[in-house]
Homo-oligomer: A and B are copies of this chain.
């Protein structure tokens, strides 16, 4: 993972469908050399894959919320994960420091759908109570880059 690898990752984060020749031109390497490095980065797990960036609004996921989840008793993270994974509206979830056991990032079609999801979340027997924060607008959303 040297400086050239970092620049290759930057290129792919900017556009995952750019050709090896293009990337090579940007970093000063031939296309096969770039491919070998990309394969290695995938193998090492630095690159996990390539995905399309979609507009959630256009797909009918216009409403977002962050939910602090407080669990009953001592629930291991794997248990929380197992309960959240079947809910398609959960796009991300974290265990956190502080009073809450987890922060859950939800995406729903609208406020009504969000309410239904929150009810299902509260209905889980591991969940004691939840504190919801509805997202009004997204100010910023960008992928992490290799350079600081």
Contact = CB atoms under 8 A, between A and B. Distances in A.
Nearest to A59: B146
Contacts of A148: 60, 88, 109
Interface in A45-94: 45-56, 58-61, 64, 66, 77, 80-81, 84-85, 88, 90-94
Interface residues of A, number: 63
Given A66-B103, A96-B134, A133-B103, A13 B49 contact: no
A142 interface: yes
The quantity of this chain's copies bound in the complex is 2
B144 A12 contact: no
A3 interface: no
Contact of A92 (B9, B88, B141, B146): B141
Contacts of A61: 144
Interface in A116-148: 133-146, 148
Given A46-B55, A48-B53, A48-B54, 14 more contacts: A9-B52, A16-B50, A45-B58, A47-B52, A50-B52, A50-B53, A54-B144, A61-B144, A81-B139, A94-B138, A97-B133, A98-B133, A98-B134, A103-B135
